[in-house]
Amino acid sequence: MWTSTIRLRGIDTLRHQSTFSTLLPLPVRNRAYRATRAPRTGVDVRDVLGRLPRLLSRAATGLAVLTLLLTGTLLALRSAYGDKVYPSVAVADMDLGGLTPAEARATLQSRAAALEQGTVTFSFKGKTWTPKLEELGAKIDVDGAFHEAYQLGREGNAWDRLVSTGRLAREETYVPLRISLDHVTLNRWFDQVDGELGLPPHDAFLVVQGTTVRVEPEVDGTIVDRAEASRRVQAALQGLAPIAEPLPVIPRVAKVRTADLAAAQQQVQQALSRPIKVRFEDQGWTIAPADLGKFVVQRVDPARTGVEAVSVGMDEEALASWLSDEFTDKVNREPVNATVGWNQGPVALTDSAEGMTLKPLTFARMVSDSFLGNSKPIDIPVTVTKPDVDSNNLAALGITTELARGDSSYVGSTPDRATNVETGTRLLNNTLVPPHGEFDFNRAIGEITADKGYVDAKVIAGERIDRDLGGGICSVSTTVFRAALTAGLPITEWNPHRYRLTMYEADGWSPGFDASILQPEGNPFEPGNSFKFANPTDSWMLVESWADGANVIVIIYGPELGWRAEVSEAKYGKTIPIDPPLEIVDDRLAPGTIQHAEAPEEGLVVSFTRDVYDRDNNLIESREFRTIFHSRGNVYRVSPDMQGMSPASAG
């Protein structure tokens, strides 16, 4: 892009310049005195030195007066033109003095729009083209012209403002109007005109169709003389005057003739006779020559002529895109971590696998070289991603010891609840927690779905006990909570149950040592519904779990921490009285059904404290875990036909 700067006056302006001088009477000296003085033969230095202070004083006084006058002029202008363009300021042929910024911009934009809509006319052999200047890429910098005009007299430096204001008081100041010409747009218009001059001239070129290649002969012709046409457009811009001239043209003689392509045609024809074989690991594929022929391109070196100017290659970017579509699904894979268990140390239960990502552009270059060269088989290039958990280097995990163990009993559970407890325990087993990462129970077991083995069982749903898929899973989250609690690990999310459930108090556990989880329908991993703990170390941690038909066991392994966790006895607070009996109509029940769904239970406030110490016996955390168990009364679920007939309605 080039920029043409146009400085226009448009019309003559008459300026009046006032000149004034002050005439003072000359001092009259005593003639007699003058006559008696001896004539001087040279400069009296003493006389000059004696008069110097008076001269300097007068000069200083004059300068001060001039400065005051200029300063007064500046202040007057600034007061009168506080938010306006200063007087005597013009952009090209547009006087902007005294206009507000909005008015000045509007003036410039109106003029710019008119200029951009101006036309140039070219003609050739009975054809005429009359493009607008904006169609040729002309663009006027309205913002730049306005800014430059508005800043005159508002310079940042005080002296510059004084000088600028003084100049404005003496003469009109013109700001140039800058017009840029986008040569990309201009050349597109030339391309269009070239096509309208007749049969477009072109070099001879190769045409690939399937597995054959032919030569399209060259065509000589006439094209726009772009250098001369550009010069004329620029002249029209600089003069802001329309032009109507013959279109400058030059003959176009093809640089590449049919005979020049014989060798290239033979090379491509030979390439189209051989398929390309590619390999990846133990798989192999063949790329048909016709598929690759679509990407063959002919290149011409403008500095050379004839056979030496021609070379054949491939559009590697387009080929890379096609290869990516064809082979990404065959090659790409995510890295797979090893499944890790514990047997006197970490052991790999399943092997890890490296991840692979196709390198399309490198692949395209290799295919191009093979296709146009010796047809050598290609090993598909990939970027290898190592797994985080490498089965061949488990020592890198830093898991060296058992940190803590948790347990909970599910003796007495219904068969459906026991099924869910054992399913959740199996899915939790062998969970790894990365360094400085976070264990999230819901994500560790995944979404609770029937295809994983979960069944309907009793759950606490909102404020009531009901049935839902996965009921009983909280026995597993409770067990993880107890292990993390004992290990002293930072617990980042914990939700106690709404109601006190005595099954969590088996084997000597006090109330309050439980952890509930919830998986909302449609968003099973919504924050605030899980149990979480942090791994604050530079090593990995392993959560191992199993169920033996009576108890859930969870063990957390990791690096040697040297921490000690002291958990207090439960502290019992106030009790909350039993609620009145409640009847719930449940249209899922068979007619004639009255079901005693919940037994009464007092509410209770209970808490305990955990203090965690480091290996030097420094207290690193002290936290109270407080639970408010809500009370409940007898709850009866009835079928619609039995509404009002349960014991809850008797009184």
- Average model confidence (pLDDT) across the chain: 86
420 and 470 housed in the same domain: yes
Taking 80 as the threshold, does the pLDDT of residue 549 lie above it? yes
Q: Is 597 within a domain? A: yes
| Predicted local confidence at residue 177, as pLDDT | 79
- What's the token pair of residue 50? 């004696």
409 and 533 housed in the same domain: yes
| Predicted local confidence at residue 1, as pLDDT | 42
| Predicted local confidence at residue 62, as pLDDT | 61
Q: What average pLDDT does the segment 550-576 reach?
A: 96
Query: What are phi and psi for residue 547, nearest 5 degrees?
Result: -125, 140
| Predicted local confidence at residue 506, as pLDDT | 87
Q: Which DSSP letter does residue 219 get?
A: B
Query: What are phi and psi for residue 340, nearest 5 degrees?
Result: -115, 135
Last residue of a domain, one of 385, 412, 431: 385
Rounded Cα distance, 57 and 471, in Å: 105
| Better-scored residue on pLDDT, 27 or 480 | 480
316 and 407 housed in the same domain: no
What b/e readout covers 313-349, taking b as 16+ CB neighbours within 10 angstroms? ebebeebbebbbebbeeebeeebbbbbbeeeeebebe
| Predicted local confidence at residue 534, as pLDDT | 98
373 and 499 housed in the same domain: no
| Predicted local confidence at residue 33, as pLDDT | 37
What b/e readout covers 270-291, taking b as 16+ CB neighbours within 10 angstroms? ebbeeebebebeeeeeebebee
Element (H, E) at 279: strand 276-280
Residue matched to tokens 């022929």: 293
Taking 90 as the threshold, does the pLDDT of residue 482 lie above it? yes
| Predicted local confidence at residue 34, as pLDDT | 40
Structure confidence at residue 367 as a pLDDT band (50, 70, 90): very high
Structure confidence at residue 15 as a pLDDT band (50, 70, 90): very low
Q: Which DSSP letter does residue 79 get?
A: H
Residue matched to tokens 């290659």: 313
Rounded Cα distance, 149 and 576, in Å: 81
Beta bridge partners of 181: 2, 138
251 and 274 housed in the same domain: no
Q: What average pLDDT does the segment 489-493 reach?
A: 98
| Predicted local confidence at residue 467, as pLDDT | 62
User: In sequence order, which residues have a C-beta less than 8 Å from that of residue 125 and are 6 or more positions away?
Assistant: none
| Predicted local confidence at residue 21, as pLDDT | 30
402 and 547 housed in the same domain: yes
Q: Is 618 within a domain? A: yes
530 and 617 housed in the same domain: no
Last residue of a domain, one of 358, 385, 412: 385
Last residue of a domain, one of 260, 282, 298: 260
Structure confidence at residue 163 as a pLDDT band (50, 70, 90): confident
- The secondary structure of 151-216, three-state, reads HCCCCCCHHHHHHHHHHHHHCCEEECEEEEECHHHHHHHHHHHHHHCCCCCECCEEEEECCEEEEE
Q: What average pLDDT does the segment 326-336 reach?
A: 97
Beta bridge partners of 23: none
Burial of 570 (0-12, 13-18, 19+ CB in 10 A): middle
Taking 50 as the threshold, does the pLDDT of residue 564 lie above it? yes
536 and 418 housed in the same domain: yes
Q: Is 158 within a domain? A: no
Give 404-433 pLDDT, tens digit per residue: 999 999 998 999 999 999 999 999 999 999
Q: Is 33 within a domain? A: no
Taking 70 as the threshold, does the pLDDT of residue 39 lie above it? no
CA distances from 488 to 405, 542, 609, 619 (A): 11, 15, 12, 11
Taking 60 as the threshold, does the pLDDT of residue 548 lie above it? yes
| DSSP SS3 for 365 | helix
| Predicted local confidence at residue 160, as pLDDT | 79
535 and 407 housed in the same domain: yes
User: In sequence order, which residues have a C-beta less than 8 Å from that of residue 136 and are 6 or more positions away?
Assistant: 120, 181, 185, 186, 189, 233
Rounded Cα distance, 312 and 454, in Å: 64
**137 with 186: CB under 8 angstroms?**
yes
Residue matched to tokens 């300063």: 71
Rounded Cα distance, 465 and 417, in Å: 14
| Predicted local confidence at residue 630, as pLDDT | 92
544 and 429 housed in the same domain: yes
| Predicted local confidence at residue 465, as pLDDT | 66
Strands 635-638 and 582-585: parallel
| Predicted local confidence at residue 428, as pLDDT | 98
Taking 80 as the threshold, does the pLDDT of residue 151 lie above it? yes
**Which DSSP string do the residues of 399-425 spell out, in sequence order?**
--EEEEEEEEE-TT--HHHHHHHHHHH
Rounded Cα distance, 309 and 373, in Å: 20
Query: What are phi and psi for residue 357, nearest 5 degrees?
Result: -135, 125
Q: Is 78 within a domain? A: no
Q: Is 378 within a domain? A: yes
Return the CATH number at 315. Answer: 3.10.20
Give 42-71 pLDDT, tens digit per residue: 555 556 556 666 656 666 666 555 566 656
Rounded Cα distance, 163 and 151, in Å: 13
CA distances from 205 to 4, 184, 191 (A): 39, 25, 19
Burial of 158 (0-12, 13-18, 19+ CB in 10 A): exposed
| Predicted local confidence at residue 583, as pLDDT | 87
| Better-scored residue on pLDDT, 526 or 650 | 526
| Predicted local confidence at residue 12, as pLDDT | 30
Structure confidence at residue 468 as a pLDDT band (50, 70, 90): confident
| Predicted local confidence at residue 333, as pLDDT | 96
- How many alpha carbons fall within 13 Å on the CB side of residue 539? 18
Rounded Cα distance, 206 and 203, in Å: 10
357 and 406 housed in the same domain: no
Query: What are phi and psi for residue 315, nearest 5 degrees?
Result: -75, 95
Rounded Cα distance, 585 and 597, in Å: 12
High-pLDDT (> 70) share of the chain, %:
86
Choose from 100-109, 233-242, 390-399, 577-586 the range with maximum mean pLDDT.
390-399
Taking 50 as the threshold, does the pLDDT of residue 13 lie above it? no
Choose from 210-224, 230-244, 318-332 the range with maximum mean pLDDT.
318-332
Cβ neighbours of 628 (radius 10 Å) = 15
546 and 411 housed in the same domain: yes
The closest alpha carbon to 235, from 223, 245, 225, 249, belongs to 245
Q: What average pLDDT does the segment 334-345 reach?
A: 96
Q: What average pLDDT does the segment 498-514 reach?
A: 90
Identity of the amino acid at 476: V
Task: Find the helix packing angle between 360-371 and 316-331, rounded to 10°.
Answer: 110
Q: Is 632 within a domain? A: yes
Number of domains in the chain: 4
For the chain, the first-to-last Cα distance in angstroms comes to 93
| Predicted local confidence at residue 532, as pLDDT | 98
Structure confidence at residue 197 as a pLDDT band (50, 70, 90): confident
Give 273-306 pLDDT, tens digit per residue: 999 999 999 999 999 999 999 999 999 888 888 8
**483 with 405: CB under 8 angstroms?**
yes
Q: Where does 178-225 have alpha helices with state H?
A: 183-196
Q: Is 173 within a domain? A: no
Taking 50 as the threshold, does the pLDDT of residue 20 lie above it? no
For the chain, the C-alpha Rg in angstroms (whole number) is 47
**495 with 516: CB under 8 angstroms?**
yes
- What's the token pair of residue 151? 């800043």
Taking 90 as the threshold, does the pLDDT of residue 369 lie above it? yes
Range of the domain at 204: 199-260
| Predicted local confidence at residue 235, as pLDDT | 80
The closest alpha carbon to 378, from 287, 297, 313, belongs to 287
